Amino acid sequence: MDVRICSANMFLGGTSYLGELCCIMPSKTVEISPDIFWVGVEDWNRRVFDALIPLPYGTSYNAYLIVGNDKIALVDTVNPGFEEVLLEKISQIVPPERIDYVVMNHAEPDHAGGIPKVLEIADKANVVSTKLGVDMAKLYFGVPPERTVMVKEGDTLSLGSKTLKFTQAPWLHWPETMFTYALEDQVLFPCDFFGSHLTSDKLFADEVSGILLPEAKRYYAEIMMPFAAFGQKALDKVKALNPKIIAPSHGPVYRNPQPIIEAYEKWTRGPLEKKVVVVYVSMWGSTQTLERTITKAISVNGVEVVPYNLTVADLSHILRDLVDSSAVVIGTPTVLGGAHPLVLYATELIASFGIRGKVAAVFGSYGWGGGAVKKVKTRLQEGGFEVIDTLEIRGPPKPEHIEKAFALGKAIADTIS
């Protein structure tokens, strides 16, 4: 039996009927390597992350218990609201009071939010983290300095029969982040790196369906893409460690890490695809007519094109396509002297998300004074984009505008071919 139904209820703060069931239902733990246990929780009903990204499959908060013959460590905790489930799972293996170390790879509350409760129960346990992590544990969770152990690159911590080694992995995706490596077992705990928002009754990546890689990429796009340069450095460290198992803090555990390491190679520094993402809005169809012409011109010139109408598009799908696209084209009507609000929102994300394909074009329609195209162009240039072409027309497109739109699409295709 597992605890799925209970965890959702507890997240909502429910304590009555299902909450009581939680106390009596044994929940699943999984031994991923000898004496290393997954004690995480599944949040099947969560639908939004970072107040931004849709979670069609929910998510999980993976925590791991490492039982040495001398000391016991808990690697990461869970989102606030799930502490009781975590403690119940731990107690199936050892009394939680016996935990000696709570390793905090990352201070974000979805992994560190359970620390106060664990420290309350395990009253001799100390939090292990980077220098900045120790600061943040105090700031976010009130962990007093005397209950922390600061570690730096290459430091080790003996649990007796097991040794933990710590690797600095800053900016993945906060400044304090680090990876923990169980040396003897060759298990890497990289927290958010290699994660995915994918809840499944199956823990291991090789047991879940083909949606894992696209979901891991969608996760990467939102969380890690702005930090691709740090991701490259961390990947080199991961490859040097040569882990047998990668156990992230969201989504499935990789018993064969090769595919996800190769995917991260490609996403952080691999060649970009011959692909253009077009994002646009149109209120009365003029900008959309231009978009259809531009999209067609890109496609007939042999380049893959993915058009997204922002009124219906899922933002996380756009970001996922931008991970390996070579160019982006933005279309907007003028609204109140600037871009349409949905385009403003998308442009801000595109300009600030560290997208590697920095070639762009902008187009749109206006009724009287115009100005949207110029504003979007300026914001993209601030974000390091080379804006190779623009087209701003008054009212619905006439044949000469269609010709110009086709030329814009061809110019983009030619630039990245």
Where along the sequence are the contacts to ligand FMN (CB under 6 A)? 282-288, 333-337, 365-370, 395
Burial 277-312 (b: 16+ CB within 10 A, else e): bbbbbbeeebbbbbbbbbbebbeebebebbbbebee
Torsion on CA atoms 360, 324, 230, 42, rounded to nearest 10: 120
- Show the tokens assigned to 142: 């009130």
What lies within 8 Å, CB to CB, of 4 at 6+ separation is 42, 44, 201
- The footprint of Fe ion on this chain (CB under 5 A) covers a number of residues equal to 3
DSSP letter at 235? H
Select from 383, 392, 321, 341 the least CA-distant residue to 358: 383
Shortest distance (Å) from residue 364 CB to ligand FMN: 7
Nearer to Fe ion, 108 or 389 (CB): 108
DSSP assignment of 266-307: HHHHSPPPSEEEEEE--SSSHHHHHHHHHHHHHHHTT-EEEE
Shortest distance (Å) from residue 329 CB to ligand FMN: 15
Shortest distance (Å) from residue 410 CB to ligand FMN: 21
Q: Which does 285 bind (CB under 5 to 8 A by kind): ligand FMN, Fe ion, none?
A: ligand FMN
Q: Which does 335 bind (CB under 5 to 8 A by kind): Fe ion, ligand FMN, none?
A: ligand FMN
Shortest distance (Å) from residue 378 CB to ligand FMN: 17
Q: Which does 287 bind (CB under 5 to 8 A by kind): Fe ion, ligand FMN, none?
A: ligand FMN
Q: Which does 193 bind (CB under 5 to 8 A by kind): Fe ion, ligand FMN, none?
A: none
Q: Which does 144 bind (CB under 5 to 8 A by kind): Fe ion, ligand FMN, none?
A: none
Nearer to ligand FMN, 67 or 281 (CB): 281
The 191-210 site mask, x for binding Fe ion (CB under 5 A), equals -x------------------
- Three-class SS of residue 82? coil
DSSP assignment of 23-56: HHS----EEEETTEEE--EEETT--EETTTEE-T
Q: Which residues pair with 365 in a beta bridge?
A: 393
42 counts as binding Fe ion under rule CB under 5 A: no
Nearer to ligand FMN, 284 or 345 (CB): 284
Does residue 106 have a cis bond before it (omega within 30 degrees)? no
Burial 327-340 (b: 16+ CB within 10 A, else e): bbbbbbbbbeeebb
Residues 103-142 that bind Fe ion (CB under 5 A): 108, 110
Nearer to ligand FMN, 375 or 379 (CB): 375
Nearer to ligand FMN, 275 or 379 (CB): 379
Q: Give me the residues that bind Fe ion (CB under 5 A), please.
A: 108, 110, 192
